Amino acid sequence: MAITNSYIQEKLTEKFGEQVTSFEETYDMLSFESPKEINLKVLQFLYDEPTLSFQFMTDLTAVHYPDQIGRELAVVYHMHNLVDNVRLRFKVFTDVNTPDVFTATKLFEAANWMERETYDFFGVNFVGHPNLKRVLNVDEMDYFPLRKEFPLEDQTRIDKDDEMFGRG
């Protein structure tokens, strides 16, 4: 029997009560969030609970929302139950000044590089990660390029002919 999104929601609320919030179903995928302190508990519960068994980590990434003060960075997990073929999206938010989130590497080897990539581009500090260093960018880099304050092109560059770029 395939499990439904409302069943997953029911199970999670039963276990975590008020702590799991913002349930919504967008484009058939259930999405919810929890405080960042319990992210591992939620992932472990999703993994262990026999009727849920979200045991495959499809994707882990982050999103930067500079306007949401206090919850600027969202770490997004995409989980997959391969047996019943159900996917879900789980988010934890953290503020950008203390971006500490517990690592999921103990549960999923797959999270290792994905967390390194997320650290590399967003500066999320995965507490407990065995080897949290940059993976795609150079080690000497001192900024996190996928954050929104980092411009794609430096608008003040003077080595380019402005007329050619519509800024004349």
Partner 1 sequence: MDHHVKLPEGSIERQTTTLNLGPTHPATHGVFQNILELDGERIVSSEQTVGYIHRAFEKLAERRPLYQITPITDRLNYCSSPINNMGWHITCEKLLKIKTPKRVDYLRVIIMELSRISDHLICNSIVGVDSGAYTGFLYVMQYRELIYEIYEEICGSRLTTNIGRVGGFERNFNATAFDKLEKFLREYPKVLKEFGDLFTRNRIFMDRLQNTGGISAERALNYGFTGPNLRAAGVDYDVRVHSPYSSYEDFEFSVPVGKTGDNYDRFLVRDQEMWQSLSIIEQAYKKVQAFKGAEAEVYHADVPEFYLPKKEDVYTKMEALIWHFKIIMGETAIPKGEVYQSVEGGNGELGFYFISDGGRTPYRLHFRRPCFIYYQAYGELTKNGMLSDAIMTMSSLNLIAGELDA
Question: Residue 7: CB partners within 8 Å, gap ≥ 6?
Answer: 51
Provide, rounded to whole angstroms, the least separation between the CB of residue 151 and partner 1.
10
Q: Binding-site residue total for partner 1 (CB under 8 A)?
A: 35
Q: In the chain, at which residue ranges do the beta strands (DSSP E only) sit?
A: 21-26, 29-35, 56-64, 73-81, 86-94, 100-102, 125-127
Instruction: Name the residue nearer to partner 1 (CB basis): 51 or 131.
Output: 131
Query: In this structure, what token pair is assigned to residue 141?
Result: 């880099």
Exactly one of 48, 66, 82, 160 binds partner 1 (CB under 8 A); that residue is 82
Residue type, 13: T
Provide, rounded to whole angstroms, the least separation between the CB of residue 55 and partner 1.
7
Q: How many CB atoms lie within 10 A of CB 36?
A: 23
Exactly one of 9, 76, 95, 123 binds partner 1 (CB under 8 A); that residue is 76
Q: Where are the alpha helices (DSSP H) in 35-164?
A: 39-48, 111-122
Exactly one of 46, 112, 129, 132 binds partner 1 (CB under 8 A); that residue is 112
Using the rule CB under 8 A, give the single segment among 1-9, 11-19, 96-104, 107-115 that binds partner 1.
107-115
Exactly one of 55, 95, 123, 125 binds partner 1 (CB under 8 A); that residue is 55
Report how far Cα 26 is from the mean position of its chain's Cα atoms.
17
Query: In this structure, what token pair is assigned to residue 165?
Result: 């770029």
Query: Binding to partner 1 by residue 26, rule CB under 8 A?
Result: yes
Instruction: Name the residue nearer to partner 1 (CB basis): 17 or 151.
Output: 151
